[in-house]
Amino acid sequence: MSGKKRVLFLFEDSPASSLRFFEGMRMALGFSVTHHGMEVLLLGNAIRAVRSFRPEEIGLPREMLEFFPLFVDLGVRMFVDARRLEEEGLTQMLPPFLTPLDPAGIREKIREADLVIPFSRTPGESR
């Protein structure tokens, strides 16, 4: 796969629910080094990563929140579900490097990608 492919990492689970979010972010970070133009999309409970929280207090790696500045440094564009931000009351907390998308923008972002790498629970998987 050449670096010209449009790759989208899609996150749906809360960063506090499991290590899936953390591991997905690690994979995305590694991928972004060789695949310029890669993007990240936070949907569902993944938008809770916008909140400031202390991962180590709930047994998750402290490094979990260090991904966003690294993505910014590497030029990775990051998007978030605008409707979910509003539902969660997080619109005022939105960092400038996250771009909100409406449902049509989300569908377009997914449709434009050559490869979508989802990090979410499979249907029927227990929470």
- 33 within some domain: yes
- 56 within some domain: yes
- 112 within some domain: no
State the residue range of the domain holding 15: 7-102
pLDDT digits (tens, 9 = 90+) for 75-86: 999 999 999 999
pLDDT digits (tens, 9 = 90+) for 21-35: 888 999 999 999 888
Beta strands, E only, 13-126: 39-42, 77-81, 98-101, 115-119
- 85 within some domain: yes
Q: Which of 122, 23, 101, 123 is nearest to 9 (CA)?
A: 23
Query: For position 79, which CATH number holds?
Result: 3.40.1260.10
- The length of the chain in residues reads 127
- 15 within some domain: yes
- 114 within some domain: no
pLDDT digits (tens, 9 = 90+) for 29-63: 999 988 888 999 999 989 888 776 566 665 666 66
- 38 within some domain: yes
